[in-house]
Structure 1
Amino acid sequence: MSTVQIARTARRLAGEHPAWMLLRSGHAAAAVTLLGRHLARGTRRLPEAELVGRLEDDITELRRQGFTLPHSAGPQVSEWLRDGVLVRRPGAGSDRSTAPEQLELSDAALAAIAFVSGLTRPHHVATATRLSIVLGALGDLADAADPDPSARLAALRAERARIDAEIDRVRRGTVPEPDPADLAERAREVLALAAEVPADLLRVRAALTVADVELRRSLTASGPVRDAFVDDLFRGVDHHAETPAGRNLTTFRAVLDAGEHDATAHVTRLLRSPEATTELTSSEVASLRRLVTELRSATDDATDTMTALRRALQRAARSGDLPQEQALASRLREAETIALELADEVAPGTWTGLTLKLGAVALASPAGIRPHDPADDRPAPLVRPRPPADDAPTDLAALRALARSAEIDEDELRGNVNDVVARRGAATVGEVLRAHPATQGLASVVGLLSLAERHGRREGDTEDIAWPGARGSLRRARVPRHRFEEPVP
């Protein structure tokens, strides 16, 4: 790139990049201080009204001290939103539709605040520590990229030899005393590296927003492309997680989930060591104490953004202009309109004359309900149509057998009970099974016991019953005795 091109790029960034615009503004000193105080320390996101309220008192005090700022915080917040220093995010909580929008710093604003913070609070740079981190990362990268298994094996053996030597030194008690100054420098290096993570995750969130725009274009496409995209959405495919930013976030979260417990334990051990905290300031100790919590909070915020974008895309697909969806929505609206018109005339509980045969499992049974897990990103298996046979006739017997295997045949069981009761006057479950064997195996036994609970009389003792198993073996059980004394309706 030539000098002219670089200069033109810098001029363009000076006029449109939020970080550059913030630092070159007339009230940059006050702006960086206010934003860093209210949105860069612990609290990362606030509703607009609450942020304006917090800024009012500070702005008044700064104006008395000679800083040039607007008389009210509202116009200043609007300016920061217009310049991209602040960004809007959906409200948090169970009902995002009613929760107020929240404001947070953009990644550019975080970069500007971090730059000024490095100027106002300089600290000694641990050159040796940073170099060791770079060299170690290079070694790990080379080992991961080397396709030669012998080179990888040699690296692992060298690492094992180093660990064995360290274990031997610890056993002999020849480990040198830690240097407090060196420990403090290394702790500051960890804090400096960790401080860059929130800005990195903000860039990931910005990239996810850009990717969401590209994904929504697939909904406006036509033909097989849109149909395949909508089918994937209904199967639960998470297209956001498949973007580069989504894969980056997923990997980052997996690393944090795997190492969060150990990292918390390491911080606890570090803070308990007098050698490690002697050279650290109270603010640095507090930053170490909050380190893992802030990493988790920043990661959860980015994950919530991806989840919200994914759900919004699914809602957009479900509310699209598919003919089937439009027809179903129209029928539902018609039914709702009719129900509202009849609500004043038909009393609740009025017999409608309509019946619906229910299955063996009640709708309220926990066994029949599978709660939706929003964190489950595994898509449903792709349904592939099976090519029809060469005009082969439908086997009705096979269809009946398939239906019987999936549903308890209560009609058959009700007829068996009524037949035995009609001949004997009364019958227990065991007597019904002896007169009419269980054609569905255990399912028939369960169905009879369910009928007995609802229509039979409970007797004090138990009875032994038997039925044929799936492989022809005889199954036995002892169940509470119930007696059918009248036909089952």
Structure 2
Amino acid sequence: MTGSRAEAAYSRAVAAFSTPTLDLLHGRFAPFVVASLSILFSADRAAVPIADAHAELSEILDELRRADEEDADRRVPAGSGRDVCRHWVRLGWLVQQIDDDVEVYRLSAHAVEALEIAGRTGGGRTRVSNSRVRTLLEAVEHLSDSAEADPVRRLARLREERAALDAEIDRIEESGRADPLDDEELLEEAENVLHLARELPADFTRVAESLKLMQRDVVAHLRRDERPTGEVLREYLQRAQDVMQSTSEGRAFAGALRLIGDPDRIDALTEQLQGLLRQPFARMLDSSQRTELDAIGRRVELGVEEVLAAQRRASHVITGQVKTHDPLRDRQIDDLLRDVMAGLHAWGGTGTVADPVRSMPLVDVGHLRQAVSDIRPPAAPAPLADAGDVEFLDVDTRAWGGPRYAELEAYVAGLGEEFDLAQAFTDAEDDTRRPVDLVGLLEIAHRNGMTEGSEVSVVEALRPDGTTRRFAFRAVTARTTKEEAHD
């Protein structure tokens, strides 16, 4: 029995050390990998353009090699920044993606988890604090309450909580004091918050990677599918719509998103963190802890954006693949490739002579459309119909034209030295009260000289089809002619 337990434990340990997380921390250049990745990536820089990452990593390599030339081979790997990054991609520590038409590197979930372990281990002692134990107890209590099916027990627990809250409210109202915890206890609480926050990036990245793996699985199954295209289309489009519910990580994130996906909640979290940094106990935190505490809100926001971007990308890829998927064409291509490979193997023998292809086979494309070389039409056009057979509409096309300047200028000439433009337009004949005639009247007034008042004039224009439109403009007093405007 002991032997079987030891063997099982050893197998679990071997499996754990074969993961990219422990492989990163256990490797020969683990300190260099952890240091470089922590420099390249941060809470505000989740993705780095590939060219920038290669250049920055080359600078890090050169700097460390110059610092200790004799021991450089033991401290840093050989090769350029580009070579090292590509090696990290193969090991599963970096992930290549395309964001906004730019190819970038992102940390894999294993790398994020390894950096979190290294940071927690190197960040000082881990204390079994009151805050951490209380967090565990509260989590167990919440789990127990959530699983409770007896309404009597559930009501009793809720009444106890309400009584405790009422007692605390009464105490504060009577004493007028809030009595916060002392600085040492608040420091423990802050360290517990930092401990919980360090696990978030790996969780977010793990969800995003699970969505990407699901996308690859769907596309791979789609390419191998031999069912009718319509059936495949319905199944995979539905799966693309429910991509967040297709994995356990996605379902867990969907539940967490209801808590942290609200922008108001993120803003409130940021304000709370900034308020904590202004408290006296915050002076007991070192600079790195203060920076990390201040970045929690941004880290949560970036994590949510990363998962949602992975969800949109997976839905887009799956939908596009389904729309362009053609099983018949794929089978034809597979058969053609197999024939080509079989032909190559047949020609591969020693002394085999292959007849050269002297001409390409003709393709039967059927009847092609032919161009007419004779520019003359094949037949005379049909004769025009007699004028008596054509029905002409009784429409005065001139009535729909522009302003009638001649009639307007003759009309204005008889209005005296000055006139109110709105009144003049209202008193005009119906055939010169069109909207375009109002424009023409304004043009004549501007040419001869006019004065605008502070009041608003309203006129009603009559269109040729009998409909009317109302126009409003600042009151205009116009002159009759240019000569009179200079007198």
TM-score by length of 2: 0.62
How far the C-alpha of 1:314 sits from its partner, in A, is 0.6
Structure 1 counterpart of 2:153, from 132, 137, 151? 151
Q: Which moved more, 1:44-53 or 1:145-154?
A: 145-154
Residue deviations 1:337-365 (CA, integer Å, cap 9, x gap): x9xxxxxxxxxxxxxxxxxxxxxxxxxxx
Q: Aligned partners of 1:85, 1:235: CA distance in 2, in Å? A: 32
Match of 1:269?
A: 275
How far the C-alpha of 1:10 sits from its partner, in A, is 2.9
User: 8 Å contact 1:124–1:185 — kept in the other structure?
Assistant: no
Q: 1:11 to 1:273 in 2, by over 3 A?
A: closer
User: 8 Å contact 2:204–2:304 — kept in the other structure?
Assistant: yes
User: 8 Å contact 1:218–1:229 — kept in the other structure?
Assistant: no
**Aligned positions of 1:178-193 closer than 5 A:** 178-193=181-196
In structure 1, what residue type is equivalent to 2:112? L
Q: 1:460 to 1:178 in 2, by over 3 A?
A: farther
How far the C-alpha of 1:193 sits from its partner, in A, is 0.4
How far the C-alpha of 1:199 sits from its partner, in A, is 0.4
Q: 1:485 to 1:176 in 2, by over 3 A?
A: closer
SS in 1 for 2:295: helix
SS in 1 for 2:284: coil
Match of 1:89?
A: 97
Q: Which runs of 5+ in 2 are unaligned?
A: 329-368, 370-391, 400-432, 439-459, 468-487
User: 8 Å contact 1:457–1:484 — kept in the other structure?
Assistant: no
How far the C-alpha of 1:166 sits from its partner, in A, is 1.8
In structure 2, what residue type is equivalent to 1:316? Q
Match of 1:305?
A: 310
Q: 1:234 to 1:78 in 2, by over 3 A?
A: closer
How far the C-alpha of 1:198 sits from its partner, in A, is 0.5
User: 8 Å contact 1:42–1:294 — kept in the other structure?
Assistant: yes
Match of 2:201?
A: 198
Q: Aligned partners of 2:59, 2:144: CA distance in 1, in Å? A: 54
Q: Aligned partners of 2:46, 2:21: CA distance in 1, in Å? A: 17
SS in 2 for 1:178: coil
Structure 2 counterpart of 1:72, from 80, 97, 105? 80
Match of 1:484?
A: 465
User: 8 Å contact 2:194–2:293 — kept in the other structure?
Assistant: yes
Q: Percent identity?
A: 23
**Aligned positions of 1:85-484 closer than 5 A:** 85-90=93-98, 92-93=99-100, 96=101, 99=102, 101-125=103-127, 127-172=129-174, 173-217=176-220, 219-220=222-223, 221-223=225-227, 227-231=230-234, 238-244=241-247, 245-258=249-262, 259-274=265-280, 276-321=281-326, 458=435, 482-484=463-465
Q: 1:251 to 1:228 in 2, by over 3 A?
A: farther
How far the C-alpha of 1:317 sits from its partner, in A, is 1.1
Match of 2:354?
A: none
Q: 1:482 to 1:62 in 2, by over 3 A?
A: same
User: 8 Å contact 1:46–1:102 — kept in the other structure?
Assistant: yes
Q: Aligned partners of 1:234, 1:61: CA distance in 2, in Å? A: 51
Match of 1:447?
A: none
Q: Aligned partners of 1:460, 1:181: CA distance in 2, in Å? A: 86
Q: 1:39 to 1:459 in 2, by over 3 A?
A: closer
Match of 1:349?
A: none
In structure 2, what residue type is equivalent to 1:128? N
Q: Which moved more, 1:81-90 or 1:310-319?
A: 81-90
Match of 1:438?
A: none
Q: Which runs of 5+ in 1 are unaligned?
A: 324-337, 339-417, 427-455, 462-478
User: 8 Å contact 2:226–2:327 — kept in the other structure?
Assistant: no
Q: Aligned partners of 2:139, 2:437: CA distance in 1, in Å? A: 75
User: 8 Å contact 1:126–1:189 — kept in the other structure?
Assistant: no
Larger Rg belongs to: 2
User: 8 Å contact 1:56–1:72 — kept in the other structure?
Assistant: yes
User: 8 Å contact 1:85–1:106 — kept in the other structure?
Assistant: yes
Q: Aligned partners of 1:149, 1:317: CA distance in 2, in Å? A: 49
* Number of equivalenced pairs: 338
Q: 1:458 to 1:247 in 2, by over 3 A?
A: farther
How far the C-alpha of 1:24 sits from its partner, in A, is 2.4
Residue deviations 1:399-456 (CA, integer Å, cap 9, x gap): xxxxxxxxxxxxxxxxxxx99x89xxx9xxxxxxxxxxxxxxxxxxxxxxxxxxxxx9
Q: 1:106 to 1:183 in 2, by over 3 A?
A: same
Q: 1:299 to 1:232 in 2, by over 3 A?
A: same
Q: Aligned partners of 2:122, 2:154: CA distance in 1, in Å? A: 45
Where do 4+ consecutive residues of structure 1 move more than 4 Å?
232-237, 456-461, 479-483
Root-mean-square deviation over aligned CA pairs: 3.4
SS in 1 for 2:106: strand
How far the C-alpha of 1:189 sits from its partner, in A, is 0.7
User: 8 Å contact 2:21–2:110 — kept in the other structure?
Assistant: yes
Q: Which moved more, 1:141-150 or 1:228-237?
A: 228-237
**Aligned positions of 1:52-71 closer than 5 A:** 52-63=54-65, 64-65=67-68, 66-67=71-72, 68=74, 69=76, 70-71=78-79
Q: Aligned partners of 1:125, 1:480: CA distance in 2, in Å? A: 86
Q: Aligned partners of 1:149, 1:483: CA distance in 2, in Å? A: 79
Q: Aligned partners of 2:258, 2:8: CA distance in 1, in Å? A: 41
